[in-house]
Amino acid sequence: MTTNGLLIAVPADTRQFESYLWHAAPSTYLDALARIGALPVIVPALDGVDLDPALDRVDGVLLTGSASNVHPERYGEAPTPGHEPYDTRRDALTARLIEGALSRGLPLLAICRGHQELNVALGGSLGTEIQEIEGRMDHRAPVHPEQDQRFALRHPVRLTNGGRLATLLGTDEVEVNSLHRQAVRDLAPRLSVEASAPDGTVEAVSVRDAPGFAFGVQWHPEYWSGSDGPSKRLFEAFADACRAYRDLKA
Ligand SMILES: NC(CCC(=O)NCCCC(=O)O)C(=O)O
C-alpha cells in the first residue's frame, strides 16, 4: 500500500503482557489511517518525554478508543470500582497530545475513549456505567466472539442541525456502533455538541474555537471506514484537513 506522505500521531495504550509493559495501538485504527494513505506514528506513553518534535512533524492526531477509562481524578472525582480499569500513562499522554494539537491547529479526530479524553482535557466530566441510569440506553458492545458483531452498527445518532459534522457528512442522521459504558456528563466549555443518541448521550463534539478539524465521536468510524459511507467520509475529511495543514506548514 502506498502512502501520500501524511503522518498521523496515534497514542499508545499501555498493557502488561508476558512480563513486559507494552506501548501499542490496535490495528483497526492503523488500518483506517493506511486506507486514507497516511502513515500512523504510534507515540509511546513515556513519562516526561518531550512530544514537541513529534507534534511539529505530524500532520494530524488520531485518538483511539480503548476499554480503559480516564482516571476520574482528572475531572475531580474520587475513583470507585465502577470507574476501572485505568491506563494513567495513556491519560497523561493524550492530555498532552490534545493540548499540543489544539495549540498548533493540528487536525484532531478523537474516537470513543479519545472523545471522552477530549472532553476531560478541556474541563468536562464523564458519567460511568451509564446503562444503569434511568432512561439511558445500553451503549455497551454485545458479548460476542466476532469483532464484526461487536462493532455492528446498532443505533442512530442525530446530527446537530447546521452543525459542522452534519455539514461535513452531508446528512442529519447516521447509524453507529457502540462499545462504551461511560459518556460525557458535563460538556467542556469549549466543545459544541455535534450529535446525540436517542437517549441524549453526547455522541459527537467539535472544539468551537479550533481553527480547523477537531472532532470527537463516541462511536467507531475506523472499524467500517472501508465500507460504511459516513465512516469513510469522516476519515476522508480528516485526511483532507491533514493535507491542508501540511500544505500550510510547508
Ligand atoms: N472509557 C470507555 C471506553 C470506550 C472505548 O473506547 N471503547 C472501545 C472498546 C473497544 C473494545 O471493547 O473492543 C467506556 O466508556 O467504556
Q: What is the pLDDT of residues 74-111, one digit of tens each?
A: 999 999 999 999 999 999 999 999 999 999 999 999 99
For residue 71, what is the domain's CATH number?
Answer: 3.40.50.880
Report the chain's C-alpha Rg in angstroms: 17
Question: Among 112, 117, 151, which residue has the most ligand 1 atoms within 8 Å of its CB, making it the best to mutate?
Answer: 112
pTM of the model: 0.97
User: CB–CB of 208/192 below 8 Å?
Assistant: yes
DSSP 72-114: GGGGT----GGG--B-HHHHHHHHHHHHHHHHHT--EEEETHH
Q: What is the pLDDT of residues 142-155, one digit of tens each?
A: 999 999 999 999 99
Count of structural domains within the chain? 1
Q: Is 176 in the pocket of ligand 1 (CB under 6 A)?
A: no
Residue 18 lies in a domain: yes
Determine the structural domain holding residue 234 and report its residue range. 7-249
pLDDT of residue 3: 73
* 194 a catalytic residue: no
**What is the DSSP code (8-state) at residue 136?**
-
Q: Choose among 48, 42, 56, 118: nearest CA to 89.
A: 48
Q: Is 67 in the pocket of ligand 1 (CB under 6 A)?
A: yes
Residue 96 lies in a domain: yes
* 222 a catalytic residue: yes
Residue 2 lies in a domain: no
Residue 229 lies in a domain: yes
Tell me how far CA of residue 66 lies from CA of 28, 47, 219, in angstroms. 12, 20, 12
Please pick, among 112, 180, 194, 242, the residue that the annotation labels catalytic. 112
**Per-residue b/e over 60-80, b at no fewer than 16 CB within 10 Å?**
bbbbbbbebbbbbebbeeeee
In the structure grid, which three cell numbers stand for residue 242, read together? 491533514
Report which ligand 1 atom has the smallest distance to the Cα of 114: 6
Q: Which residues, 6+ apart, have CB-to-CB distance to 94 below 8 Å?
A: 11, 63, 114, 117, 121
ipTM rounded to 2 decimals: 0.97
